[in-house]
Amino acid sequence: MRPTAPVTDQTAADAESPGALYKEAMHPLDVVRQSLENWSEVELGALSVGVHTAHDACEKMKPENYSNDDLYDLAHLCAFGQDWNPANTAAQRYLASKAPEHRTQAYAISIGAFVHLNAIDLAVATTQEMLRSQPYDAEAAYAVHYMKSYLEVTGDPHALQLAEAEHPKIIDALSKGTPLKATYGDAAVGMGLLFEMAIEAAFYEQYAGDNQQAAEYLGDVERALPQKAPLTGEDRQEIDSAKLQYHLLGTELKHIPVIRSYKSTAAKGEIDENFGAATALVVFPDWCVQCKRMMPTVTQFGAANADTPIYAYGLIFKQEGQEANPDAEKDLLGTDVMEVSEGTARSFGTTDYPLGIVVDHTGVIRFIGVIPNDAFNGDGYMEKVITRMVGVQVRSLPPIPRGD
What would the pLDDT profile of 309-341 be if each residue is shown by its tens digit? 999 999 999 987 666 666 667 889 999 999 999
Q: With a cut of 70, list the residues of the chain below it in pLDDT.
A: 1-33, 35, 267, 321-328, 399-404
Please check whether residue 109 is in contact with residue 80, taking contact to mean a CB–CB distance below 8 angstroms.
Answer: no
Task: List C-alpha distances in Å: 377 to 207, 288, 383, 394.
Answer: 21, 18, 9, 12
Helices (H), 249-364: 289-304, 326-330, 342-346
Tell whether pTM > 0.85: yes
Task: List C-alpha distances in Å: 138 to 78, 179, 204, 208, 352.
Answer: 23, 9, 22, 27, 21
214: nearest Cα among 278, 155, 167: 167
Same domain as 100, residue 190:
yes
Same domain as 152, residue 90:
yes
CATH of the domain at 367: 3.40.30.10
Q: Residue 383 falls within a domain, yes or no? A: yes
pLDDT value at residue 46: 86
Q: Residue 400 falls within a domain, yes or no? A: no
Choose the final residue of a domain: 248, 269, 284: 248
Please check whether residue 110 is in contact with residue 92, taking contact to mean a CB–CB distance below 8 angstroms.
Answer: yes
Same domain as 370, residue 235:
no
pLDDT value at residue 18: 65
pLDDT in tens, 343-379: 999 999 998 999 999 999 999 999 999 999 999 998 8
Same domain as 313, residue 268:
yes
Q: What is the DSSP-derived secondary structure letter of residue 357?
A: E
pLDDT value at residue 330: 82
Q: Provide the number of structural domains found in the chain.
A: 2
Q: Residue 395 falls within a domain, yes or no? A: no
Same domain as 268, residue 196:
no
Distance separating alpha carbons of residues 136 and 78, to the nearest angstrom: 26
Domain that holds residue 142: 26-248
Q: Residue 18 falls within a domain, yes or no? A: no
